[in-house]
């Protein structure tokens, strides 16, 4: 359980969370922000696996993609809400 929580926390504070949020704030389309966040999640996992698919764990990849999608969506929501103020 602690391994899963550590993986989630690490992804939130790493590239999928921070860069996904920043990329989400660059667009007003929710699907595009979520897509960019998900792509960042995949790229971050590949970077830390030294570009070898054999080193990637499925759980890590799924968590990175989910965190990236959520961060990108939140970034887009921040952009939309900030634009109406």
| pTM for this prediction | 0.88
- Rounded to whole angstroms, the Cα distance separating 26 from 35 reads 12
Grouped pLDDT means (10 residues each) for the chain, 85 residues: 86 88 93 95 92 90 94 94 75
- Rounded to whole angstroms, the Cα distance separating 72 from 29 reads 10
Looking at residue 8, what is its pLDDT?
85
Looking at residue 13, what is its pLDDT?
87
């Amino acid at each position: 359980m602690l391994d899963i929580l550590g993986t989630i926390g690490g992804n939130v504070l790493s590239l999928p969370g921070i860069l996904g949020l920043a990329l989400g704030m660059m667009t007003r389309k929710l699907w595009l922000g979520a897509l960019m966040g998900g792509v960042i999640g995949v790229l971050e996992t590949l970077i830390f696996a030294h570009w070898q698919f054999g080193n990637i764990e499925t759980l890590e990849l799924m968590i990175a993609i989910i965190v990236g999608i959520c961060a990108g969506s939140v970034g887009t929501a921040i952009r939309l809400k900030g634009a109406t103020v």
